[in-house]
Amino acid sequence: MHNEFIRENLIKINKKIEDAARKSGRNIEDINLVAVTKTHPLDYILDAYELGIDSIGENRVQELMDKYYGIPKELNINFIGQLQTNKVKYIIDKVDLIQSLDRESLLTKIQNEAAKRGIIANCLIQINQTKDDNRAGIGYDEIEVFCEKIAACPNVKVRGLMCVAPLGLNEKEMRDVFSKMSLAFWRLKCYNIDNIVPEILSMGMTDDFELAIEEGANMVRIGSGIFGRRL
């Protein structure tokens, strides 16, 4: 262990996840924790791995490439940042889950790059919570049409939904965001569309993961709560 504080933070976070899970009638095993290691050095990743973390999250292609060869092969790598289409080729065979599938041009690119390599790319659809078109994500009213496009992409497998809650919401507004996501997730489960196997609802970060779990999240992405503030 290089950094003892990571152990202490993880114990606290796991306790909170357990409490939130219990509150919503679920087990801690049903909640997947992605440790968000963006901006942090490789030795933080190795510490997290040693402490039993099985999934990490990175949001920059270059940073992921720099760390990649030091990351233990057993770790699941989640890409959680906005992804430029011209960079898909660098990470497509390195990441286990692209959580930020947020537009049609990216879908097309992922399909093409995955097909070239004969692999299946696992993705989550990132949902935009605001009507603001500058923010990343598919709007609720666009999900169905987007799913039809996914059905035509045999090298893409969509495993669920992801969102980042807007900043500055009070508790009730945050619960609304998360419960709307839960509803969209359950609806997706009912669709029965090719290449879509909804099993992951990724929502909740350091400041809001307990509410997210209570509203149905089964994957939370936590960075500063485990590794401290980003530089």
Binding residues vs ligand PLP (CB under 6 A): 36, 38, 59, 80-81, 164, 205-207, 221-225
230: nearest Cα among 41, 79, 62: 41
Tell me how far apart the alpha carbons of residues 221 and 33 are, in angstroms, rounded to a whole number: 6
Closer Cβ to ligand PLP, 108 or 206, answer by number? 206
Contacts of residue 164, defined as CB under 8 A and 6 or more positions apart, other chains included, come to: 126, 129, 203, 205
* Minimum distance, C-beta of residue 223 to ligand PLP, in the bound complex (Å): 3
Closer Cβ to ligand PLP, 41 or 81, answer by number? 81
How far, in whole angstroms, is CA 224 from its chain's centroid?
15
Closer Cβ to ligand PLP, 15 or 116, answer by number? 15
Which residue's beta carbon is nearest to the bound ligand PLP?
Answer: 223
Tell me how far apart the alpha carbons of residues 41 and 216 are, in angstroms, rounded to a whole number: 32
* Minimum distance, C-beta of residue 100 to ligand PLP, in the bound complex (Å): 7
* Minimum distance, C-beta of residue 154 to ligand PLP, in the bound complex (Å): 27
Closer Cβ to ligand PLP, 59 or 129, answer by number? 59
Closer Cβ to ligand PLP, 35 or 155, answer by number? 35
Distances (CA, A) of 10 to 6, 30, 47, 149: 6, 17, 11, 39
* Minimum distance, C-beta of residue 165 to ligand PLP, in the bound complex (Å): 10
* Minimum distance, C-beta of residue 203 to ligand PLP, in the bound complex (Å): 9
Instruction: Compute φ and ψ for 205, nearest 5 degrees.
Output: -125, -170
Contacts of residue 92, defined as CB under 8 A and 6 or more positions apart, other chains included, come to: 110, 113, 114, 117, 119, 121
